[in-house]
Amino acid sequence: NAGVTQTPKFQVLKTGQSMTLQCAQDMNHEYMSWYRQDPGMGLRLIHYSVGAGITDQGEVPNGYNVSRSTTEDFPLRLLSAAPSQTSVYFCASSYRGAARGGLTPLHFGNGTRLTVT
Amino acid sequence: GQSLEQPSEVTAVEGAIVQINCTYQTSGFYGLSWYQQHDGGAPTFLSYNGLDGLEETGRFSSFLSRSDSYGYLLLQELQMKDSASYFCAVRDRKGSGNTGKLIFGQGTTLQVKP
């Protein structure tokens, strides 16, 4: 069971380039989300999805697009990379649970470390 | 909106007990979670409190007081491997139902010294 798999692990982009960060999970989780982590800023939610075909914005969505065509995959697209998007990106998934007030545990991938020059 | 506050750093010695506090402001409360993250690694789930009181999982315990909008993570018998960042998190109120969206605090870096 691989859990949540993110690729690539490292990426360097030039300003203005576009790219897609891949995320796949094999746990049949309904919910998937993307976070970015910057020093001293904790984890900030970029976009999330509650199921195939349904996505919504998080706290910091500008400059990013997502789509969810299957339950397993949730790619994050950077449209035109900027130095401010230099960060570590984490994808996470969780299952729908009626208990715990909706706070079922998030399972995180190992992250993609992105540098934009 | 939601906001969470936690201390930025805590230092303790091996074998000791340490408490990491978290205060939150939310428009609706759906429980407080804690995550651990080692340097260079991914966050991993530690515990959850939906009701007031103490939840214990081995050496780790988490406490919640909803009336005070306050919780803490208690780590006992500290080990060097407990050196990590610890994040509290609440569910985002926007929308209805369980969306899986969590809002995280900025994290507390715990340094365990020999």
What pLDDT, in 10s, does the model give residues B2-34? Answer: 789 999 999 999 999 999 999 998 877 778 999
Residues of B in contact with A102 (CB under 8 A): 30-31, 91, 97-100
Neighbours of A92 (CB within 10 A): 27
- Structure confidence at residue A47 (pLDDT): 95
Q: How far apart are the first and last CA of chain B?
A: 41
Q: What single-letter amino acid sits at A30? A: E
Flag if A58 and B101 touch (Cβ within 8 Å).
Answer: yes
Q: Spell out which residues of chain B touch residue A93, defining contact as CB-CB under 8 Å.
A: 100
Contact by Cβ (8 Å): A112, A8: yes
Chain A residues with beta carbon closer than 8 angstroms to that of B105: 42
Lowest mean pLDDT among A21-25, A36-40, B17-21: A36-40
Query: Is A11 exposed, middle or buried (CB count within 10 Å of its CB: 0-12, 13-18, 19+)?
Result: middle
Nearest CA in chain A to B106: A42
Round to whole Å and give the CA distance between B33 and B64. Answer: 10
Between chain A and chain B, the number of residue pairs with CB atoms below 8 A apart is 83
Please, how many CA atoms are within 13 Å of residue A30, restricted to the half-sphere of its CB? 13
| Residue of chain A whose Cα is closest to the Cα of B49 | A100
Chain A residue closest to B107 (CA)? Answer: A42
Least Cα distance to A37 among A92, A93, A80 occurs for A92
| Per-residue pLDDT reduced to its tens digit, B34-62 | 999 999 999 999 999 988 999 998 999 99
Q: Using beta carbons and an 8 Å cutoff, which residues of B are at the interface with A?
A: 8, 30-31, 33, 35, 41-45, 48, 50, 87, 91-92, 95, 97-107
Token code pair at residue A84:
């401010």
From chain A, the residues in CB contact with B48 under 8 A are: 100, 103, 105
Query: What are the distances in angstroms from CA B72 to CA A17, A24, A101, B26?
Result: 43, 33, 19, 17
Helix (H, G, I), strand (E, B) or coil at B80: helix
- The pLDDT assigned to A49 comes to 92
| pLDDT mean over A38-42 | 83
Do residues A116 and A86 make contact, with C-beta atoms less than 8 angstroms apart?
Answer: yes
Determine how many CB atoms are found less than 10 A away from the CB of residue B97.
Answer: 9
pLDDT at B55: 93
